[in-house]
Amino acid sequence: MNESARATLDLATGFGQVLAAWVRKVYRSETNEIEAIASFLASVGEQLSLATSEGHSCLPLRALKITPAGESIAGIRAKLLASTLVGTPLQTPAKPLILDEGNRLFLYRHFEQERRLARRLVGRSKSKPPQILNSPQLRDWLDANFGPASPTGSGAVPDWQRIAVAQALLNPMTFISGGPGTGKTRTAARLIECVLRLRPDTRIALAAPTGKAAARLREALSPDSKKFDAFTLHRLLNIHPTTGRARYHASNPLPFDLVVVDEASMLDLTLALQLIDALPSDTQCVLLGDKDQLPPVEIGSVFATLSAGRRFSPQGLDRLVQVTGYTAESIEGAITPTPHDSALTDHVIWLEKNYRFSDRSSIGKLSEAIKRGEITTAVDLMRNPQSEGLRWFEDSHPRIETPTLRAAELGYAPYRTTLERVSRHSIRHLISDQSLLEELFTTFDQFRVLAAIRQTGRGVVELNAQLRRLIDPGTRQWYPGRAILITRNDPALNLFNGDVGICLPDPANDRERPQVWFRGQAQDDSSQFRAIECDRLPPHEDALAMTVHKAQGSEFESVLIVLPHEIGRTANRTLLYTAITRARSQVMVSGSQSVFEAACSQADVRPSGLSDRIRELIDACPSSSSD
């Protein structure tokens, strides 16, 4: 067990002990009955703490691992509520732990965050449609940019990008979910172009959880639309790096008419609440993401929860029919039934047609098989030498073996070649001719090694130690070509979590300290790249190998996925899907078949009460907003 896991377990044990001590203090007794309650609370508290460390906002009672023999859920619920530390949502004063009607146990803080977010979302969903609904130009614009609709009969297949643009224009808040290659960014670009055509003075903000994702969103826009800056969400909300408090909130809202957020599947509960809280009531918000990707590292999986299903009200469907030209039958007929319904009617769109991978694409087939948990299909595709773009390395050793290392060496070969050429030039030359830097960064982003874990011989720390020898066999910390990943926001330097930099010395002056180059992000950058001295950098790590979590929001031509040595909870279906869909043309997997199969079979679904909180508010006040 590594130090991080040990610290997590110690914290969970300590939390359980605190709850037990609290029970003894409240009852001021040491009877067998009180000791039984204290011991039970200690066990439950430890499990709840471990669940939150894994990003869960709550712990379903059915998931409790240590309970009295034969105890029913009703019996466990009664015992928790009798402990004086656990209360129900409506109970006052509030208790440290909350047990809702769905038998989910929360820390009070996380329950209150979900309840506040639900109030904000329901309030926005019930606000008046934007005035753009009355514009006769909207239908004409959609026809001009997507082609005329085919409204006849239920057999017509609607263009969901067209529907997504219309839905986003008709509603104050829209969630658009789709996998890589389904056109989310293109849809956002079309939306912004339409808004500017119909409302030229619209104030627009583009944002994403990472700087790279925000920059990619802005790059997809037309030249006229690139006048808008792209922010990280922390920069947009002006979140203090130490306190975590946002400058923009309900009492000081954001000064924008439209906020478009890409990679919204990375939004944790706290950040999602801060974003929605900072939106003025008349500001439209569009969140784009992939509900099937990895959930955030922190608490919650807001986007996946809210996008789990899609449905339209009769009124919402009628508005879409009027604007898009499709019939209600064709729209409803194109919706695949799902076991989950969205708690927010008329606000969720799925983009399912993939423009990157054809029906014959092995990568596309593999990602779909893994998403559905089809283990045999996934293994057959991965192990079949005829699967174009897929390659399997049977490597079950605690550390990667020579074939895997050789694949990484070949993957980074173009980067090494470009680096050798760029390194011959002086810094002054690179500043004047930034095409060399563009080529270097572009070549580096062609390939990446992705791992499921950080520690052990197959984690990113050890992988980076081995891979650095491919670039520089020496012992220098800041060697030419060292690639780093920023891990903490530094607004003063305009560097944010997820930004990638490359170290380059000045061959014309050995006495000059190496600098790390980064792509510019702000719209008013005078140059596309900028250099920062190494000793001024915020916390960072090597980036030749990255965790799959860190790779979210990025795309590479080819990826090498290194699976853990043993079966565990870290490598699961969602992680595999996310890793595979980072690649455009080639996926290589290094690991044992047993670990691969176990990962395909293991879903990563975070329990949440957010949908129930939304439904409770809608049922309590069906015709008015709640805040």
Q: Evaluate if residue 380 carries a pLDDT over 60.
A: yes
pLDDT of residue 360: 82
- Per residue in 285-342, pLDDT (tens digit) is 999 999 999 999 899 999 999 998 888 889 889 988 888 888 888 888 888 777 666 7
Distance CA 496, CA 182 (A): 27
pLDDT at 423: 84
Tracing tokens 């081995």 back to the chain, one arrives at: 466
pLDDT tops 60 at residue 586: yes
Q: Are 286 and 259 in contact (CB under 8 A)?
A: yes
pLDDT value of residue 265: 93
Helix axes 413-422, 460-471, angle to 10 degrees: 50
205 contacts: CB under 8 Å, gap ≥ 6: 228, 229, 231, 236, 254, 256, 258, 259, 260
Whether residue 524 is predicted with pLDDT greater than 60 in this model: the reply is no
List pLDDT tens digits, range 207-221: 998 877 887 788 877
Confidence at residue 302, expressed as pLDDT on a 0 to 100 scale? 95
**What tens digit of pLDDT does each residue of 467-484 get?**
999 999 888 899 999 999
Q: Is 528 left (phi over 0), alpha (psi -120 to 50) or beta?
A: alpha
pLDDT of 27 > 80? The answer is: no
Q: Which two tokens stand for residue 353?
A: 């047609």
Mean pLDDT of the region 485-492? 86
* Average predicted confidence (pLDDT) for the chain: 88
Higher pLDDT, 415 or 212: 415
Query: Quick one: pLDDT at residue 619?
Result: 84
Asked if 422 contacts 436 with a C-beta cutoff of 8 angstroms, the reply is yes
Rounded to two decimals, what is the model's pTM?
A: 0.90
Q: Is the pLDDT of residue 515 over 70?
A: yes
Predicted pLDDT at 34:
84
- pLDDT score for 155: 52
Q: Helix/strand/coil (H, E, C) string of 521-578?
A: CCCCCCCCEEEEEHHHCCCEEECCEEEHHHHCCCCEEEEEEECCCCCCCCCCHHHHHH
Q: Is residue 448 predicted with pLDDT exceeding 70?
A: yes
For residues 60-73, give the mean pLDDT.
Answer: 81
Determine the pLDDT at residue 214.
81
pLDDT exceeds 70 at position 281: yes
Q: What is the pLDDT of residue 511?
A: 61
Res 230: pLDDT: 83
What is the model's pLDDT at position 623? 57
pLDDT over threshold 50, residue 525:
no
Model confidence over 563-585: pLDDT tens digits? 999 888 888 999 999 999 999 99
Q: Which pLDDT score, from 0 to 100, does residue 272 have? A: 96
Give the mean pLDDT of 358-366: 88
Binned at pLDDT 50, 70 and 90, residue 146 comes out as confident
If we measure between CA atoms, which residue out of 597, 594, 582, 602 comes closest to residue 378? 597
What 3-state DSSP class applies to 206? strand
Of 46-60, 136-150, 259-273, 407-421, the one with minimum mean pLDDT is: 136-150
492 Cβ contact partners less than 8 Å away, ≥ 6 residues apart: none
